[in-house]
Amino acid sequence: MIVAPSIRSFLLVLLATAIGLPAAAQSDPPRPNILYIVADDLGWADVGFHGSDILTPSLDALAAEGARLADFHVQPMCTQTRAALMTGRYPLRYGLQSFVILPEQTYGIPLDERLLPEILRDAGYETAIIGKWHLGHADRAYWPRQRGFDYQYGALIGEIDYFTREISGLTDWYRDNEVLEEEGYVTTLLGEDAVRFIEGHDSENPFFLYLAFTAPHTPFQAPQDELDEYGDIADPNRRAYAAMISEMDDQIGAVLDAIEAKGMAEDTLVIFHSDNGGVRTAAFAGQIDLSGDLPASNGPYRGGKGDLYEGGTRAVALATWPGVIQPGTVDGMMHVVDMLPTLAGLAGASTEGTKPLDGLDVWETIATGAPSPRTELVYNVEMFRGAVRDGDWKLYLQAPLPSRVELFNLANDPGETLNLAAENPEVAVALEARVQQLASEMARSMFFEQTFNAYLGREEGAPVFPNEDGFYAIHD
């Protein structure tokens, strides 16, 4: 059982009094500053501490000092992961389980969801988002400043040109709800602004800084000096991809230096992970030259961005807090939905007002390597596919004909090469039933609802999905 921080502190004071020790010597560490860094489409194997030739000294140092989260999972795509982080709930609960929010689409993370920055701000944290949002842009009610962030700088969508900050010919670059025109390279600008935020922060109060890089998402663009560092890489996509990661790592280093200079390093929790696996499918590669191989590597894991296989959802991840988190590899199962209750617990914040959370408090697992309280993991469920995991068993169900059921034992086969469904029918049946149960509970996909309405010209209230009564009658 994990005891709430306030109760732990009370019990420790009682114990200190009983044995005659000063209470201060037994107290929990103070509420931490939280630097939460997310990379975009970073391959699991594309960091130095996972054996890459891409130079990531800042991340490597963090990994050496803290916990390398070996079984940390996210959603298969960007919007979904960011929504899961912000709500502590699987996106299937509120209609964000499919694809991402496109520039022409008008929905966002539902306004009745209580988000992580709101929870932390109510607990006395200064909250800031520097970087990519991608959780609603068509209505200001969806924007970060309206969803709990005291300060915002960066892109509302994020799939932008790194030098012009444009998407579809329009500038997607804002500070505090206002369009911002400036020069510079996106990754560098985000790092510099994060440094300014740290330097200007009043250290009397803790901060929550959500630093959401767009790198190394396409288009593959990097400053010339970073490209020159990888002149020995012949493939232009791989060269630019590597340079983008190195520039992101440089900026992370600058932010960490600013925290150190401010005297806040010992009081700051740093979490880093990617929003999904690296791109291994041309459909997600954007407008780039595909004459060569796609540059991202997800190491031993199958698939990549958009897949429900491990390569799409098992993210490179780490957590550090000097003197608090034990260095080493943590094997416990975690999902990005766990971050909301975990951070709220550390902050002494109330989750009252949230809808039922899927996330669990995994702090003891992160900090000490204790067994994870999580035994089940939902990769995603939508109307054409789903995947769940129970312990080491993982089932992937493809619903469209020809349907397919795949069962893997991840302890023995992390690369998902051997389908064991026929040899273990009872396990496959139980996990498929769980997928079907979740499918019966899920909200309608807002992506497909708006997409179908846009292309088929439906009237409001008309059937949207092919499995709804009346769908075919309208279009026969």
Positions annotated as catalytic residues are: 78, 134
Which helix (H) or strand (E) segment holds residue 453: the answer is helix 446-456
Closest CA to 451 of 168, 158, 99, 143: 99
375 CB neighbour count, 10 Å cutoff? 11
CA gap 289, 456 in Å, rounded: 32
- Residues in contact with 196: Cβ distance below 8 Å, sequence separation at least 6, in sequence order: none
Which helix (H) or strand (E) segment holds residue 320: the answer is strand 317-320
CA gap 456, 434 in Å, rounded: 33
Residue found under tokens 């312990």: 391
The DSSP letter of residue 10 is H
Which helix (H) or strand (E) segment holds residue 330: the answer is strand 328-330
Residue found under tokens 């992937």: 396
Residue found under tokens 């092919």: 466
Burial classification of residue 458, based on how many CB atoms lie within 10 Å of its CB (0-12 exposed, 13-18 middle, 19 or more buried): middle
CA gap 352, 343 in Å, rounded: 14
Measure the N-to-C terminal CA separation of the chain; round to a whole number of Å.
58
Under a CB-based contact definition with an 8 Å cutoff, are residues 385 and 303 in contact?
no
